[in-house]
Structure 1
Amino acid sequence: MKAWIAKHMPAPMAAPETAELRTARMRLITALVLLGAITLFWGVIGGRVALGLVAGLAVFIVIQGGFWVRAKNAADDDYLMSGMTDDA
């Protein structure tokens, strides 16, 4: 399957991941896992504290996700366009 994908893909899918992008991605994954755990155990921990945690995590995910997507897209664009020149 990997050879088939490489054959049909003219350019790499993404830039190599920097330490900052990896850290941001790990924060997002952690926040999403926490949100899932709170949702799973809502019956046990339900209340104002749980509602506050859900709201806080949702805001964090939206903000951090937006920053991560913009930084990742910029890094991918820079990486993919770095090989292109007008000299040819």
Structure 2
Amino acid sequence: MVSSENGEKQSSFGRREGSAPFSSTGPAGHRQRMRARVLSAGAASLADYELLEMLLFPGVPRRDTKPLAKALINRFGSLAAVLEAFC
């Protein structure tokens, strides 16, 4: 860990401490795009697995939630059934 010219801590690879290595791509970028879709077109524009995927974001912060969301929909049959099972 080193300090940059402006006093920020950086790893030896030049990345700011605590920042995601691929913040504009990968899971972080995907999550931002999903949120933007909801804001621009509404939740009705998303498939059930996409809504569930977004509900899983806070509980699974650093992994792709799409496979889990699809598996839960397949297992329980619908978003409503998944929510009934866990709520």
Q: Assess same fold via TM > 0.5.
A: no
Normalising to structure 2: TM-score of the pair?
0.35
Structure (1/2) with the larger helix percentage:
1
Q: Normalising by the residue count of structure 1, what TM-score does the alignment of the two structures yield?
A: 0.35
Q: Which has the higher contact order (CA 8 A, sep 6+)?
A: 1
